[in-house]
Chains A and B, each alone.
Chain A
Amino acid sequence: GQNIDQPTEMTATEGAIVQINCTYQTSGFNGLFWYQQHAGEAPTFLSYNVLDGLEEKGRFSSFLSRSKGYSYLLLKELQMKDSASYLCAVLSGTASKLTFGTGTRLQVTL
């Protein structure tokens, strides 16, 4: 089976930096995704890591350590529009199936 853990809720201040952690246990690891989901909307793709290290994309960065079963999403220069849920998802097996964590609800405050 698979197990993905991430914090349920986080709060951060506008302009600050926040790190959302994700730990996972899986067999046949093929990559890790981060998605953003605003309330009432569909998830949208943020990042994909398949090798160890940091992937940077503008204000968002994602890190992966396969040996530790660990990833984080780093959001810099937080804006109010970043208030959303952030979903960690692991791709595994030969059927290209994603398993999602329950998501971290981030609230950005003034």
Chain B
Amino acid sequence: IAGITQAPTSQILAAGRRMTLRCTQDMRHNAMYWYRQDLGLGLRLIHYSNTAGTTGKGEVPDGYSVSRANTDDFPLTLASAVPSQTSVYFCASSSVSANNEQFFGPGTRLTVL
């Protein structure tokens, strides 16, 4: 693993199904983030975690949950997917000690039908 990875790359999901998007980083960054990107709306923060064991809500947290059991992994779960959650999801990580520059994963394209 080099940097930050996300899985799956893309997914088509039926409404009402549960889905977990995976994110793993190997840079030992303390902070991790989940964004969604929609045309015309830019990147919007869903949830974040400043350190393992803690999480916080971003701008658009409803319908999503996260956990941060360790430094490297930050999964995002959609408990019951709805079509409005169709989007491209980016995971990012940063080190507070290094000017907070965020490094982004390659993204997951999710379609909810």
Using a CB–CB cutoff of 8 Å, the interface residues on chain A facing chain B are 30-31, 33, 41-45, 48, 50, 87, 89, 91, 95-103
Given A97-B48, A100-B43: A44 touches B58 (CB 8 Å cut-off): no
Given A87-B42, A96-B31, A102-B41: A42 touches B90 (CB 8 Å cut-off): yes
User: Is B42 in contact with A96, judged by CB distance below 8 angstroms?
Assistant: no
Q: Shortest distance in angstroms between A38's beta carbon and chain B's nearest beta carbon?
A: 12
User: Is B40 in contact with A102, judged by CB distance below 8 angstroms?
Assistant: yes
Interface of A is mostly: strand
State A31–B104 Cα separation when bound (angstroms).
Answer: 18
Which of A30, A43, A87 meets B100, CB within 8 Å? A30
User: Is A96 in contact with B100, judged by CB distance below 8 angstroms?
Assistant: yes
Interface centre among B33, B43, B44 (most CB of A within 10 A): B43
State A16–B97 Cα separation when bound (angstroms).
Answer: 37
User: Is A43 in contact with B90, judged by CB distance below 8 angstroms?
Assistant: yes
- B50 an interface residue at 8 Å Cβ cutoff? yes
State A101–B105 Cα separation when bound (angstroms).
Answer: 19
User: Is B99 in contact with A96, judged by CB distance below 8 angstroms?
Assistant: no
Q: Residue-by-residue, is B12-35 near A (CB-CB < 8 Å gives 1, otherwise 0)?
A: 000000000000000000010101
27 CB-based A-B contacts, threshold 8 Å: A30-B100, A31-B99, A33-B101, A42-B90, A42-B104, A42-B107, A43-B90, A48-B99, A50-B99, A87-B43, A89-B43, A95-B48, A95-B50, A95-B56, A96-B96, A96-B100, A97-B45, A97-B48, A97-B58, A98-B33, A98-B45, A98-B102, A99-B45, A99-B59, A100-B43, A102-B41, A103-B42
User: Is A31 in contact with B100, judged by CB distance below 8 angstroms?
Assistant: yes
- B71 an interface residue at 8 Å Cβ cutoff? no
State A98–B107 Cα separation when bound (angstroms).
Answer: 17
